Chains A and B, each alone.
Chain A
């Protein structure tokens, strides 16, 4: 890694750290307690950014998949895969924090509301993406196949959302996050979103970098065998 990149990495790391500390402070101390549901509501500051990142991650996988199919450079495949792996983790967090919040605040685990349900389907598509990679034997085939899923799966997400939304408006659920956000709450939310986005970027860069190094080592090894 050249000097410029290392500096960029360091800055990003520092920024991420600072944002996280700020976020923690704001979530637990700065933001006011919500009047209806109390302290439990603070999960919201975790749930929403994590959900945002999970969709961002899938979008990145989508774009990287297209770039891979167009250019056939393995670096795009590394990015697509890394983003999917990080994305699946974040989506899992969404599916955990959502019900925890719902149970603590409203007494029920799952409400089939459009956003949470779409996250569930997104999670399943991510899992399918990763499964194909593990079941398709050679590197170029798994890259190609998962790229196709990255593209075709992403297109599905808005359609799923619309369909579920329509379905649920006919059966209105009990969750309504009513009331607006106060200034402090909004600020806290924004900082949290920023913090988690930077975390996502760092994780993907690390993971993609590792994959590329692994591939390079493999290539060197096979060259040596000749």
Chain B
């Protein structure tokens, strides 16, 4: 058991190292997410009550999807995916290692985008409730996105296929996240958003389990 966690961490760490060294992925995606934030603010106005949650989640969703494209693309070079598949590890370990990486990436994205968003909309900057919503929702994105990224990387038109697969499936997360964000930004009590957090949590658990089970069918040849 400990060995399994160890190997998940090894994969995760390898991805972090390669990412930090290449610096290819995070900065352009960050810039893209910020642009989405700004453009949508122009599009929907900066009235905090109705438009704000949507604007934030559009930025995080599209930024997230753009980053997810890269999760398995890096393994295409030098046939590294084959190197990984030859390793004596359960396919699920590879999945979880990659999920950890995607999740961390999206959290990093959110860490930059969210304060800027809050400032643009003149909202309070310290919102632990928002942090919780974001963490849970991005976990769901990572669970689904990692699975589909592994699929899309082997098909034609991979950059456009990933969003087409990903977006319909995470609709419940987006709905729940937006609905939960509204009350939090308005400073309303916890009870307003608990039910939505439950939906997101249920989604996360269901999809982490389901993806763990089907992942091997996606990466085998």
Contacts and interface: CB of A to CB of B under 8 A. Distances in A.
Interface of A: 69, 121, 124-125, 127-128, 131-132, 135-137, 141, 144-145, 147-149, 151-153, 155-156, 159-160, 162-164, 166-167, 170
B85 interface: no
A145 B179 contact: no
A26 B147 CA distance: 48
A152 B208 CA distance: 11
Contact of B172 (A125, A144, A153, A159): A159
Interface of B: 144, 147, 151, 154-157, 161, 164-165, 167-169, 171-172, 175-176, 179, 195-196, 199, 202-203, 206-207, 210-211, 214, 217-218, 220
A162 B144 CA distance: 19
B154 A148 contact: no
A144 B217 contact: yes
B155 A128 contact: no
Contact of A162 (B155, B157, B169, B199): B199
Given A131-B161, A136-B154, A159-B203, A121 B214 contact: no
Contact of A125 (B169, B206, B214): B169
A155 B168 contact: no
A145 B218 contact: yes
B165 A149 contact: yes
Contacts of A147: 217
B165 A69 contact: no
A155 to B, nearest CB: 6
Contact of A156 (B154, B172, B176): B172
Contacts of A69: 214, 217
A151 B199 contact: no
A167 B167 CA distance: 18
Contact of A167 (B147, B161, B175): B175
Given A132-B151, A135-B161, A152-B169, A163 B175 contact: yes
B172 A145 contact: no
B127 to A, nearest CB: 21
A124 B172 CA distance: 14
A145 B220 CA distance: 11
A131 B164 contact: yes
Nearest to A170: B179
Nearest to A161: B172
B161 A162 contact: no
- Ranked nearest first, the 8 interchain pairs of A and B with the lowest CB-CB distance are A163-B172, A124-B168, A135-B155, A159-B172, A163-B175, A136-B155, A125-B168, A148-B214
A148 B218 CA distance: 7
Given A159-B206, A166-B199, A152 B172 contact: no
A8 to B, nearest CB: 33
Contact of B168 (A121, A132, A136, A166): A121
Given A145-B151, A152-B147, A159 B164 contact: no
B83 to A, nearest CB: 20
A152 B143 CA distance: 11
A83 to B, nearest CB: 18
A54 to B, nearest CB: 15
A125 B147 CA distance: 15
